[in-house]
Structure 1
Amino acid sequence: MLGDYLVGAYIPIGIKLLHESRLRRELKRIGSDGMYDKYGFTTKYNAFWLISMAGVLIRIDISYGGRNHVTLDVYANVYNGAKHKLDLKQYDKGFPVIVFVYGGGWCSGDKNLYAPLARTLNRLGYIVVVPNYSLWPIGSMDDMVHDVGCAIKWTFKHIESYGGNVDRVSVMAHSAGAHLSVLAMIRNAEKLSFSNSVKNEDSCDALSRVYSMIIRGIDEVSCMARLLDNDYNKFHQASPSQIDHLFTTTQLKLILKWLPTNWLIIHGQYDAVVPFTSSMKLYNALKNVGVDHIFLKTYTHIGHAKIIFDLMLPKQEVELEDELNWFFGMCASVEAFKTRHE
C-alpha cells in the first residue's frame, strides 16, 4: 500500500511514510531491547513512547478496548509555533483534540499511513488520536462500530494526560471511517436516549460529549454488500442517512439530545467512488431530526482520495488551517450565543 504513495503528486507523502515506518521500527527495536534510558524510549503499558524534554511526543500501538486486538496512536507534539498562534486563555484546559478515523472500504487501511496527516494537525495546534479498527472479513459491522466508539471513549478518559482538552474533542473521518463514526454516534445516542438515568461522568456518555464531527466523503452503504450479506434490512439499519426513518418522532427528540452539536460534511466534486448524494442524504437526515448547526461544503476539482490525502501535503496546510479555524469559529459563536440566551 505504501507504494501507492510513491508516484505522482503524492511522492512527498510516500517519503514521509517511509520515514515514519523507519521511526516506528526503531521505536519498537529500542523499546524491546530495554534501552530507553539512553535513547528516550520505553515500553510501559505494552505501548511504545517517544519522549523529549517537553514530554510525550508520540505514543503508538495502545490497546484501547476494541475487538480483534486493535490499537491506536497518539500524536501529542503540538509545535511551539502552533502554541504561539493559539489563544492560550481559550486553551487553558489543554489543546483541542481530533480523533481521525480513516477509510478503506471497511476492508483495508492502517493508522500508520496517516502519520503525515496527524503531524500536520499537530502543527496547527491539535493533539491527534488515530485508531485502527476491525476490518472485514475478520471484523463485522458491529465490531467496527464498537471499535470506533471505544477509541473515542478511550480519548475522553486519557487525553488529558497528553495535554488535551476533553471539552474540545472532535472526530474527523473519511469515507468508510466517516460512515462508522456517524453510525457509532447514532447508536450511542439511541442507547442513551432509552436509559432511564445516565450519569454525565459515566464512560458510556463519552460519545455524546464529542464537540464536533468533520466528515469527508462519507461512503454510501450500497458499497457494503459483502459485509451485510446483501440484506436490505441490514443496509437500512446500517445507514446513518436513515436516522429520520428508523425512529419515531418522540424517539428522535430523545436521540437528538445525545448527538454532537456541530457538524461539517465535505465532499469532492470529482468523487467517482462515492456520489455526492451520499453526503446530501446525511445532511438532510440530520437536519430533519433537528441538528441545526450543520454545514455541507463541496470542493471543486477534488476526488475521493484527494480530499484527504491532500491534507498531508505542505502546500495544503494553510487551506486546512483556514477550514478548521472557520468551522471552530462558527462553533464557538453558536456556543456563545446559546450561553447568552440560557
Structure 2
Amino acid sequence: MRKLIILLSLALLAGCSSLSVVNGLTPSTGYNLAINLPFDPATGLTADVYTPDGARNAPVVVFFYGGRWSEGDKQEYKLVGQALASRGIVAVIPNYRKYPQVRFPAFVEDGAKAVKWARNNAAAYGGNPEQLFVMGHSAGAHIAAMLALNEAYLKKVGGSRTWLRGMIGLAGPYNFLPITAPDLRDMFGPPEQFEQSQPVFFADGRNPPLLLLHGENDEVVAAANSRSLAKAVAAQGGSVETIFYPKLSHANILGAVSTVVNRVVSSDVLEHISNFVQEKRNFQLPSIQTPSDIQAVPLEIEMVPMSSP
C-alpha cells in the first residue's frame, strides 16, 4: 500500500491533472463533512464544510478552486478540505457560477456571498467568525484576491475587508493584461473594463495580509503574476508575503497541499499555509478604509499574459 501511495503521489507532483487519485487516498476521518449547504438560494449555490474533530473557535478558510472560471466543482477538493481540517482549520469550499453561464464579475460576487455565509454560520461548524480567511488556487486565487483587494464586493453583501484576517493565493492570475484569448476577452469584456478584473490595480495598502505561493515551473499562470501583485501591494505599504518553489508547476502546487503527498514527498506548502493562518488569525484591519473604487497604483505595472488557469 505504501508503494502505491508513493507512486500515485509522485505522479501528481509530476503534473497529473486529475485530483481523483489523491482524493481517493485522502482520509475520511479526523473531521466531519457537511455537504451541499445552500449559501445563495437565488442561484442554487452550495458549499461543503470540513470541521476538524472537536473544533471550537477554530479559524475558518473559504477556499475557491480553479478551472479558468469555467469548470470545476467543490466535491473535487476533498484533499484541500481534509488538509486544512488536519491543521485545526474549518474549511468552507463553495461552488460558484462559471463562464459561459455568467461573466465577470459574477463569480467574484458569488465568492462574496460565500464569505458572508461562512461568517454568519462559522460558529455552527466549530469556527470563529472573527478569524476568517479566503484562499484559492488559480482562478480561485483570483477570486480570493479580488475580495481581499477590492472592498466593493464585500460591501455589496453588507460587509467589508475587516471581515478578513488574510488571503492565501496558490498560483493565482493577478495581473494578466493584455487579454488576448477569445474566451477570456468575452468573459472579462468589454475591453474598456479589463482593468477592473485585475487584482493588481486595486492595491491600496489597506488589504488584509496576503500570502502568495507560486511555482517557478508554472507554465499556465506565470510566477510573475505573484511578483507583480506583491510589488504593487508592498509599494502601497500593504502586508504581503511571497514564497516561490523552483520545481513546482501549476497543478502540483495544489497537490502539495495534500496530507497524502506530504507523507511521502517533502513539501512545506501546507505548513506555510497553516503557519500563516495561525499567525494572522487575530489580525485586525483598520476600520477606516480608502474608497473601494481605486483603479490603479502609482507605479508602472508590467503586464503578464496568461494562458489557461
Fold-level similarity (TM above 0.5): yes
Distance in 1 between residues matched to 2:167 and 2:59, nearest whole Å: 13
Kept after mapping to 2: 8 A contact 1:75/1:119: yes
Letter in 1 for 2:44: H
Q: Distance in 2 between matches of 1:306 and 1:210?
A: 27
Shift of 1:320: 3.9
Distance 2:36 2:153 in 1: 31
Residues in 2 aligned to 1:173 and 1:314: alpha-carbon distance in whole angstroms: 20
Structure 2's unaligned 5+ residue stretches are 1-7, 287-309
Give the corresponding residue for 2:159.
Answer: 205
Give the counterpart of 1:319 among 252, 268, 271: 268
State whether residues 258 and 270 of structure 2, in contact with CA within 8 Å, keep that contact through their aligned partners in structure 1: no
Shift of 1:181: 1.7
Aligned to 1:205, the other structure's residue is in SS state coil
Residue 128 of structure 1 deviates from its aligned partner by 0.6
What corresponds to 2:11 in structure 1? 9
Higher alpha-carbon deviation: 127-136 or 235-244? 235-244
In the alignment, the residues of structure 1 paired with residue 270 and residue 154 of structure 2 have an alpha-carbon distance, to the nearest angstrom, of 35
Q: Confirm or deny: 8 A CA contact 1:153 1:207 kept in the other structure.
A: no
Equivalent residue of 1:204, what SS? coil
- Is residue 214 of structure 2 the alignment partner of residue 239 of structure 1? no
- 1:308 and 2:262 are equivalent in the alignment: no
If you compute each CA radius of gyration, which structure gives the higher value, 1 or 2? 1
**Residue 147 (structure 2) pairs with residue 184 (structure 1):** yes
Deviation, 1:211, is: 0.7
In structure 2, what is the Cα distance between the partners aligned to 1:102 and 1:238?
18
Displacement of 1:321 in angstroms is 4.4
* Residue type of the alignment partner of 2:280: C
Q: Which of the residues 66, 91, 94 maps onto 1:103?
A: 66
Give the drift of 1:185: 3.1
Q: Which residue of 1 aligns with 2:303?
A: none
Name the amino acid aligned to 2:61.
I
Gaps of 5+ in 1: 1-5, 24-51, 84-92, 196-202, 245-251
TM-score by length of 1: 0.68
RMSD (Å) for aligned C-alpha atoms: 3.3
Structure 1 SS opposite 2:44: coil
Percent identity of paired positions between Structure 1 and Structure 2: 25
Q: When the two structures are superposed, what TM-score results if normalisation uses the length of structure 2?
A: 0.74
Change (3 A) 1:324 1:178: closer
The amino acid across from 1:14 in the alignment is S
Task: Find out whether 1:140 has 2:129 as its counterpart.
Answer: no
Letter in 2 for 1:158: N
Structure 1 residue 154, shift from structure 2 partner:
0.4
Alignment of 1:216-295 (within 5 A): 216-219=170-173, 220-221=175-176, 222=179, 224-229=184-189, 231-244=190-203, 252=204, 256=206, 259-260=207-208, 262-291=209-238, 293-295=239-241
**2:244 maps to which of 262, 277, 298:** 298
Residues 304, 152 of structure 1: alpha-carbon distance in 2 compared, 3 angstrom cutoff: same
> Are residues 67 and 106 of structure 1, via their aligned partners in 2, closer, same or farther at CA, if it must alter by over 3 Å?
farther
Letter of the 2:210 partner, please give it: W
